[in-house]
Amino acid sequence: MAPKINPIPRPVLRPPMPKPPAPKPPAPEPTPAPKPPAPEPCPREPSPKLRKQWEEQNQRPWPKDPQTGRNQDVSHKKPLADGGDNSPDNIEPLPHADHVNQHKSNRDFSRWGDEVQIRIKDINTD
């Protein structure tokens, strides 16, 4: 009698597993509302005109710079770029060195340079 051969077990065929659903992409972050355009700064008036208005309001002459003997600088207490105006209440006499140091400490020169660069880019993209 021939030896009994065990048949090779055949793998059980199962239907393929369903793929898991693809993960949902994260919700986009909300786009911030555009900033309203900055108001145009008040145009600067000539210094002689501002000095005259200040003298009339304060009933005294514009002071002289003790180091140079010339008129002190016209300084805006609240800068025009920050919404200040040319009214005599917003004007103060400052010696030139103090006025320059005030602008340096406020980093106005770099701020003004940044604004010029932005305006140049705007002009070049028009």
5 in any annotated domain: no
Q: Are 67 and 101 in contact (CB under 8 A)?
A: no
Q: Are 79 and 108 in contact (CB under 8 A)?
A: yes
37 in any annotated domain: no
18 in any annotated domain: no
95 in any annotated domain: yes
pLDDT of residue 107: 81
Number of structural domains (the chain) is: 1
| 89-108 confidence digits (pLDDT tens) | 999 999 999 998 888 888 87
34 in any annotated domain: no
Could you list the residue range(s) of the whole structural domain that residue 58 is in? 47-125
Q: What is the value of pTM for the model shown?
A: 0.57
32 in any annotated domain: no
**H/E element, 54:** helix 47-58
| 46-76 confidence digits (pLDDT tens) | 999 999 999 999 999 999 998 889 999 999 9
105 in any annotated domain: yes
Rg (CA), the chain: 38
Q: Where are the alpha helices (DSSP H) in 1-107?
A: 47-58, 96-105
3-state SS of the chain: helix, strand, coil percent to 5? Answer: 35, 10, 55
pLDDT of residue 20: 83
